[in-house]
């Protein structure tokens, strides 16, 4: 990478433009960061509202804004349990807490530690082994094993819905979830960083203070050279590192993204991950620390990239890459075999010596084609690639859909923990969320406003279902709660209210609500959102993607149509045809539920638009408006077979099959049930409907 200064300047500017086009620009970086902060708050507040003292952090590329569509970065989550107290000094011991003493001695790899169990009733060492997760070492210390995390991790993540279980499906980011304990204070091995930070020219005193105020964690991971791998815990400074990344300028972020693209394109192309993106980040931070800030500008991007790659080569050559905060932790210790090191160095040399030719070999995000267009003097040179506007809209819509999935996960967290006194429980949850709505933290305010309307509808329908069971009426308080929940999103709150009116036989009001809901559903703007399971997604409408940018996070009740969930407690407000979904599973089916299905399979769940037309069909039937009834049936058929991004098409087919039975079309009904089983072979009420249909046939023979 050795070119004339003028060429390097031109190349740098064009390369920076290309990265801005694919989403590495100031606007998109800030948008990604803000959305991740909202998602963190959603999960955390959901957990805190049910009494779990945990905090969810989204770290890495997604929260830093250092990713592109082509990089397809995972969502790195750290779930920290504050019921545990990791200490270094006896003064930090807390009564009735699960106290663990952090130990760093000659038996521990730098950057790692042992955790020794302490008594919770008095500040002394525990002498008894509580269970199989602990072990007594040669010094008589009771040390905690990593296996302890398995049961806690399962308990925590199972309570936050499928958004934490999604993995490896097109249209969804994988979740890489780590469970952690908080350190009461920064480990001594990090003290040198704070001394260095005081003289770092690229950090303001306020940023240094913020970085030093964030928690450190211990996570269940050992080093490659650990002497006692089952007992070593890694010290994590992810939050201070995120603070540092938030202080980088756009050129520094673009340089890091380019390093990751090189890593994925050339170095780890065969899924051999001898180098990690964290190593690239560490090298970048060291380079920034050791250079003048004024070199990190757009017209010097290519030179900065060259410098970082040369430094990376040097670290690999010496097999030494000091952690930026815990400097005695060598990230490359034991990382390579001799053959892997030779291969990595060979590839790095090729990249460094190829000048700009490697850039023209990058297919990811069409970078080579975009760069050729910008560098070309030929006006007619074009490629069939997405425009920067199209990419930005796609990124923004993905962020919005991700936010909706977190909202869905938060709602599932709250309703999955319904107690016997469910009405009182929901009122308490709503009260807690209302408290967050008055918080000085803007993220907490927004999160509470997202969650509360959905809970209003659930509480109102549970109260209505209870009163219907007792005296076949709906009390005024239930109607008040349902009215408050109308604007949770475009459809689901209104459909719950319409379903209640239908169930008590108030068809005129049900019809009015349904007609009003249909008028609000502009199919060119509104998109169905279902986070129950990672179903394949097709493209979103162009108008929807534009609205995601224009309306920002406040557009949930104008462009998002969530699936409708009915709990067992709402059964008397659920149409008879949909109640079968509450009993979709045999005992054998239940055993075969996937990780993300167990969160909602005991509910009746249906996509909003099919449910809208189904309710219209049934309501017009009772009102004897035959023409409107057939129009609703025609619309139901159309959306089931042509609608995009529905998560519960099998349920819609089951509803359509029952409509066909009402139309006295048993053959078409059977076809619907068979198609439903093709959508979902197990845990499907279609099996019951088929048996019932065949029984009717047999009785008429």
Give the pLDDT confidence of 353-395 residue by residue, as tens digits: 987 889 999 999 999 999 998 888 655 666 788 899 889 988 9
| pLDDT of the residue at 170 | 44
Rounded-to-integer distance, Cα 167 and Cα 534, Å: 8
Burial class of residue 285 (count of CB atoms within 10 Å of its CB; 0-12, 13-18, 19+): buried
DSSP secondary structure code for residue 573 in this structure: G
Confidence of residue 644 (pLDDT cuts 50, 70, 90): confident
| pLDDT of the residue at 201 | 80
Q: Which two tokens stand for residue 249?
A: 């300028």
Rounded-to-integer distance, Cα 646 and Cα 536, Å: 9
Confidence of residue 244 (pLDDT cuts 50, 70, 90): very high
Task: Kindly report the backbone phi and psi dihedral angles of residue 260, in degrees, each rounded to the nearest multiple of 5, phi listed first.
Answer: -70, -35
Residue 249 near residue 270, CB atoms below 8 Å: no
| pLDDT of the residue at 4 | 65
Listed in sequence order, the residues at least 6 apart from 476 whose beta carbon sits closer than 8 Å to its beta carbon are none
Instruction: List, for residues 489-541, the tens digit of each pLDDT value.
Output: 999 999 999 999 999 999 999 999 999 999 999 988 999 988 888 777 777 88
Q: Is a pLDDT exceeding 70 seen at residue 156?
A: no
Which of 250, 220, 319, 219 minimizes the C-alpha distance to 279?
A: 319
Read off the pLDDT of each residue in 300-315 and give the average, rounded to a whole number. 96
| pLDDT of the residue at 439 | 84
User: Pairing between strand 75-81 and 98-103?
Assistant: unpaired
Listed in sequence order, the residues at least 6 apart from 51 whose beta carbon sits closer than 8 Å to its beta carbon are none
Confidence of residue 151 (pLDDT cuts 50, 70, 90): low
Q: What single string gives the DSSP state of each residue in 177-228?
A: EEEEEEBSS--GGGHHHHHHHTT-TTS-HHHHHHHHHS--EEES---TT-SS
Confidence of residue 127 (pLDDT cuts 50, 70, 90): very high
| pLDDT of the residue at 100 | 96
Rounded-to-integer distance, Cα 58 and Cα 78, Å: 6
Which of 432, 445, 59 minimizes the C-alpha distance to 239?
A: 59
Q: Is a pLDDT exceeding 70 seen at residue 305?
A: yes
| pLDDT of the residue at 523 | 87
| pLDDT of the residue at 209 | 86
| pLDDT of the residue at 593 | 83
* Residue scoring higher pLDDT (548 or 345): 345
Task: Collapse the DSSP code of 561 into the 3-class scheme (helix H, G, I; strand E, B; otherwise coil) and give the result.
Answer: strand
Confidence of residue 142 (pLDDT cuts 50, 70, 90): very high
Q: Is a pLDDT exceeding 70 seen at residue 271?
A: no
Instruction: List, for residues 505-514, the tens digit of each pLDDT value.
Output: 999 999 999 9
| pLDDT of the residue at 696 | 82
User: Pairing between strand 75-81 and 54-59?
Assistant: antiparallel
By mean pLDDT, which of 44-58, 160-174, 291-305, 437-451 is the weakest? 160-174
- CA 105 vs. chain centroid, Å, equals 37
Q: Is a pLDDT exceeding 60 seen at residue 35?
A: yes
Full 3-state SS string of 79-147: EEECCEEEECCHHHCCCCCEEEEEECCCCCCCCEEEEEEECCCCCCECCCCCCCCEEECCCCCEEECCC
Longest dimension (CA), the chain: 91
Residue 179 near residue 79, CB atoms below 8 Å: yes
Alpha helices in 438-526 (DSSP H): 442-471, 476-484, 492-503, 507-520
| pLDDT of the residue at 308 | 96
| pLDDT of the residue at 167 | 47
Q: Contacts from 575-580 at CB under 8 Å and sequence distance 24+?
A: 575/499, 575/502, 575/503, 575/614, 575/615, 575/618, 577/614, 577/618, 577/654, 577/655, 577/658, 578/604, 578/606, 578/611, 578/651, 578/655, 579/604, 580/654, 580/685, 580/688, 580/689
**Mean model confidence pLDDT for the chain:** 89
Read off the pLDDT of each residue in 304-330 and give the average, rounded to a whole number. 95
Task: Collapse the DSSP code of 604 into the 3-class scheme (helix H, G, I; strand E, B; otherwise coil) and give the result.
Answer: strand
Q: Is a pLDDT exceeding 90 seen at residue 232?
A: yes
Structure pTM?
0.89
Confidence of residue 663 (pLDDT cuts 50, 70, 90): very high
* Residue scoring higher pLDDT (594 or 699): 594
Rounded-to-integer distance, Cα 701 and Cα 697, Å: 6
Instruction: List, for residues 401-410, the tens digit of each pLDDT value.
Output: 888 888 988 8
Task: Collapse the DSSP code of 513 into the 3-class scheme (helix H, G, I; strand E, B; otherwise coil) and give the result.
Answer: helix
C-alpha count within 13 angstroms, C-beta hemisphere, residue 430:
18
Q: Is a pLDDT exceeding 80 seen at residue 290?
A: yes
Q: Is a pLDDT exceeding 60 seen at residue 455?
A: yes
Burial class of residue 168 (count of CB atoms within 10 Å of its CB; 0-12, 13-18, 19+): exposed
Confidence of residue 701 (pLDDT cuts 50, 70, 90): low
Number of Cβ within 10 Å of residue 291's Cβ equals 14
* Residue scoring higher pLDDT (79 or 166): 79
Output the CA torsion sign for 221, 256, 367, 543.
Answer: positive
Read off the pLDDT of each residue in 307-312 and give the average, rounded to a whole number. 96
């Amino acid at each position: 990478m050795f070119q004339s200064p003028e060429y390097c300047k031109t190349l740098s500017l064009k390369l920076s433009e290309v990265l801005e086009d694919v989403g590495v620009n100031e606007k998109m970086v800030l948008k990604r960061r803000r959305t991740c902060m909202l998602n963190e708050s959603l999960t955390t507040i959901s957990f805190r509202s049910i009494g779990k003292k945990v905090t969810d952090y989204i770290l890495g590329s997604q929260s830093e804004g250092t990713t592109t569509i082509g990089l397809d970065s995972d969502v790195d989550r750290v779930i920290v349990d504050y019921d545990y107290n990791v200490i270094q000094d006896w003064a930090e011991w807390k009564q009735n807490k699960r106290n663990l003493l952090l130990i760093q001695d000659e038996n521990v790899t730098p950057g790692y530690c042992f955790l020794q169990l302490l008594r919770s009733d008095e500040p002394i060492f525990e002498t008894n082994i509580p269970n199989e997760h602990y072990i007594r070492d040669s010094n008589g210390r009771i040390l905690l094993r990593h296996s302890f995390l398995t049961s806690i991790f399962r308990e925590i993540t199972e309570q936050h819905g499928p958004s934490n279980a999604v993995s490896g499906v097109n249209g969804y980011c994988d979740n890489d979830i780590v469970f952690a304990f908080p350190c009461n204070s920064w480990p001594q091995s990090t003290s040198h960083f704070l001394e260095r930070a005081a003289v770092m020219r690229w950090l303001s005193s306020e940023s240094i203070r913020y970085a030093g105020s964030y928690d450190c964690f211990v996570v269940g991971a050992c080093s490659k050279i650990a002497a006692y791998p089952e007992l070593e815990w890694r010290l994590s400074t992810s939050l201070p590192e995120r603070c540092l990344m938030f202080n980088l300028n756009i050129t520094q972020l673009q340089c890091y993204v380019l390093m990751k693209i090189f890593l994925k394109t050339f170095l780890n192309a065969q899924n051999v991950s001898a180098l990690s993106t964290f190593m690239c980040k560490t090298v970048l931070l060291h380079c920034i620390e050791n250079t003048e800030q004024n070199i990190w500008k757009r017209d010097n991007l290519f030179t900065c990239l060259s410098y970082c790659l040369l430094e990376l080569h040097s670290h690999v050559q010496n097999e030494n890459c000091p952690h930026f905060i815990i400097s005695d932790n060598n990230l490359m210790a034991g990382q390579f075999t001799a053959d892997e090191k030779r291969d990595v160095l060979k590839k790095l040399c090729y990249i460094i010596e190829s000048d700009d030719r490697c850039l023209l070999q990058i297919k990811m995000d069409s970078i080579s084609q975009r760069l050729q267009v910008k560098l070309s003097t030929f006006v007619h040179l074009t490629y069939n690639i997405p425009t920067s506007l199209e990419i930005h809209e796609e990124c923004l819509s993905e962020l919005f859909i991700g936010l909706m999935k977190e909202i869905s996960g938060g709602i599932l967290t709250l309703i999955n923990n319904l107690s016997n006194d469910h009405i009182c429980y929901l009122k308490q949850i709503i009260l807690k969320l209302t408290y967050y709505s008055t918080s000085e933290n803007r993220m907490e305010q927004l999160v509470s406003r997202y969650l509360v309307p959905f809970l209003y509808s659930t509480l109102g329908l549970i109260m209505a279902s209870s009163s219907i069971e007792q005296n076949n009426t709906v009390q005024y308080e239930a109607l008040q709660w349902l009215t408050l929940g109308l604007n949770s999103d475009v459809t689901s709150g209104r459909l719950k209210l319409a379903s209640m009116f239908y169930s008590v036989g108030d068809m005129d009001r049900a019809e009015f609500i349904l007609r009003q809901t249909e008028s609000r559903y502009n199919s060119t703007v509104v998109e169905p959102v279902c986070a129950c399971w990672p179903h394949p997604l097709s493209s979103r409408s162009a108008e929807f993607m534009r609205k995601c940018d224009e309306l920002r996070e406040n557009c949930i009740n104008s462009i998002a149509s969530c699936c409708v969930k009915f709990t067992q407690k709402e059964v008397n407000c659920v149409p008879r045809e949909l109640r079968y979904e509450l009993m979709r599973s045999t005992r054998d089916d239940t055993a075969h539920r996937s990780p993300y299905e167990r969160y909602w399979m005991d509910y009746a769940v249906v996509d909003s638009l099919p449910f809208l037309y189904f309710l219209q069909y049934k309501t017009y039937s009772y009102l004897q408006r035959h023409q409107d009834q057939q129009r609703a049936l025609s619309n139901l058929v159309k959306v089931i077979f042509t609608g995009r991004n529905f998560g519960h098409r099998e349920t819609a087919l089951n509803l359509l099959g029952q409509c066909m039975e009402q139309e006295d079309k048993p053959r078409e009904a059977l076809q619907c049930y068979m198609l439903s089983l093709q959508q979902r072979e197990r845990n499907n009420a279609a099996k019951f409907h088929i048996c019932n249909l065949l029984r009717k046939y047999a009785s008429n023979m």
